[in-house]
């Protein structure tokens, strides 16, 4: 059971890291667009 949980945890952390990168990239684009 613990192996399954740690496997899922790793997958979730990888997904979360990808999402975080995308969000920060979008925020940077927005900041560039807003800057005069």
For CA atoms 17, 25, 28, 34, the dihedral sign is negative
How confident is the model over 1-36, as pLDDT tens digits? Answer: 799 999 999 999 999 999 999 999 999 999 999 987
Residue-number span of the structural domain to which 17 is assigned: 1-36
Q: What average pLDDT is seen over the chain? A: 94
What pLDDT is recorded for position 30?
Answer: 95
Domain tally, the chain: 1
- The rounded distance, in Å, linking the Cα atoms of 35 and 20 is 22
Q: Per the structure block, which two tokens stand in for 3?
A: 């192996």
In 3-state terms, what secondary structure has residue 36? coil
């Amino acid at each position: 059971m613990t192996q399954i949980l740690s496997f899922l945890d790793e997958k979730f952390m990888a997904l979360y890291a990808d999402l975080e990168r995308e969000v920060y990239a979008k925020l940077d684009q927005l900041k560039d667009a807003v800057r005069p």
